Structure 1
């Protein structure tokens, strides 16, 4: 794939009023989600659940792409149609999670992690491209705590993200780089801002060193937000303004787009924050969403009540959340629409 093809794909991922559906949960994470609704986490049940999500009528109206897990990229609908074909026919780009998860960082403070998976990545990416993937995702984990994060932890994760991104572009996949600043903790808005800015500055320095084409790269960013256990948590407008200021200070204008992770926010909270940012004006990059739980949660709960009978009802829940976030990506969301 040429540089222009990478740019074209990246632009399609952040098309106006559209965002990314993240359904790349590992088997272990999927087990926890299914346990919460009383559904056995078998391969067939995971396939049926992703089938329900990906065949939602009109999903492509507000979803430009979906991040899949390795297992899902290889699966098909009940009638044998590969998920990649279902997605492509609906105008949804197939994506793939390629990292091997966050593990303890040697020599670092307890609790600091680095994401692994660079070994053998080139061959895996080549296979994923052959299977129909158009973009990939790699997630780093940055934790705020006592004496954390250290510069060493931030830089180690930024370097891994940059090497991954360069390998993606080598085989024609758009890299989605995700340096997630974890929301858990007692930190306030200012501390989250500080850590997020330092993380982004390190990331883009490393991307530059690895000759990554920014116009063919998507940033999956955390919002600058108070920790879940913080007292006097910042409101929606404060989060929106702090997040935008941080991005403007640290993210080059050449980046193709910014998609936000929900990171433990409630469904409507994540939508409201995205909308508030887009209501603030024009920015160098499109600002949209790449939500997992904040898109899936209502559909998962409804499907889990009766997986065989509740497919259409669960799909309606997903379609609604996709539409709400599509409006938020244009600054046109209104909480009153939730009851409509």
Structure 2
């Protein structure tokens, strides 16, 4: 457990957070479609290498979540990506779930698959250099009946089984119960669902004998759905999220690494900053962003080799801004200043 705790503490160290580069092949195809680039194994490798070799990111990026394919890939000079990251003081991690599928007899709800054979896969991933793992549960909000209590229990049970297997294998589990933000619900409804999900989740983790000091939590922020007509301010999101987490996340958990969940790069950074500016917490508040770190980078790169330096400069700046948000020292004026 000391090893897991040290990995957790290193991931949420001062000014640092996680790059989520664990997009499945169907997901990264959508990203590449936006820049009219074919999603081949080599193009995926090229893009991940662009991210991992950006100079200076180790000041702000403590860990990278990899997809199975990426963990097995090498840089152009033949260095395995896990080894490349480790040599820079960045901890390699691995997404281990097999994706969310329809929950049988519960229309509109999903359950994440991938527990079968996970013990054996974790042993292999550890040999390949992974020191932490991630599993994502997906909770959809739709009216007052979805999510059902059963749907939340089913996802919490899967997350707890995964976390227990990780700790057994001396791999730090990142536990991700994502309440999606793509519905018409307001912020209050999101807070109710997020609160209930966290309450159920930690009861399941405790029942599975998961040691809270040896996990990280990757939750959504409490935010209105994208189809909601009522906009919430940055401060409202920060206050609601902090209130929810204080009530339901045990103080033994070393850190909370937020997902961006479809927020813009600027919004995700602003919300994290506002929470950290509000004061101290029993756990570190950090980030585990995918699109919120990568979207501007992907657009700048466009699949062209002569754009790599520009894309890497943009990536470094996004990492730096989120590092500042970890201290409550970010402001939106920095966005235009950095792009000039």
Normalised to the residue count of structure 2, the TM-score between the two structures is: 0.98
Among 129, 133, 140, the alignment partner of 1:132 is 129
Query: In the alignment, what sits opposite 2:2?
Result: 4
Does the residue aligned with 1:37 lie in a helix, a strand or coil? coil
CA shift digits 1:190-227 (9 cap, x unpaired):
10000000000010000000011111100001000011
| Aligned counterparts, 1:170-249, within 5 A | 170-249=168-247
Deviation at 1:51, TM superposition (A): 0.5
Query: In the alignment, what sits opposite 1:271?
Result: 269
Does the residue aligned with 1:99 lie in a helix, a strand or coil? coil
Deviation at 1:339, TM superposition (A): 2.1
Deviation at 1:86, TM superposition (A): 1.1
Does the residue aligned with 1:57 lie in a helix, a strand or coil? coil
Query: In the alignment, what sits opposite 1:112?
Result: 109
CA shift digits 1:156-182 (9 cap, x unpaired):
000000000000011110000000000
CA distance, structure 2, for counterparts of residue 50 and residue 73 of structure 1 = 11
Among 51, 58, 77, the alignment partner of 1:79 is 77
Query: In the alignment, what sits opposite 2:319?
Result: 322
Query: In the alignment, what sits opposite 2:281?
Result: 283
Does the residue aligned with 1:265 lie in a helix, a strand or coil? coil
**How many residue pairs are counted as aligned between the two chains?**
336
Among 24, 40, 43, the alignment partner of 1:42 is 40
Q: Which runs of 5+ in 1 are unaligned?
A: none
* 4+ residue runs over 4 A deviation: none
Query: In the alignment, what sits opposite 2:60?
Result: 62
Deviation at 1:334, TM superposition (A): 1.5
Deviation at 1:315, TM superposition (A): 0.6
CA shift digits 1:115-170 (9 cap, x unpaired):
01000000000000000001000000000002100000000000000000000011
Task: Please tell me whether the aligned partners of residues 34 and 41 of structure 1 are also in contact (alpha carbons under 8 angstroms).
Answer: yes
Query: In the alignment, what sits opposite 1:19?
Result: 17
Normalised to the residue count of structure 1, the TM-score between the two structures is: 0.98
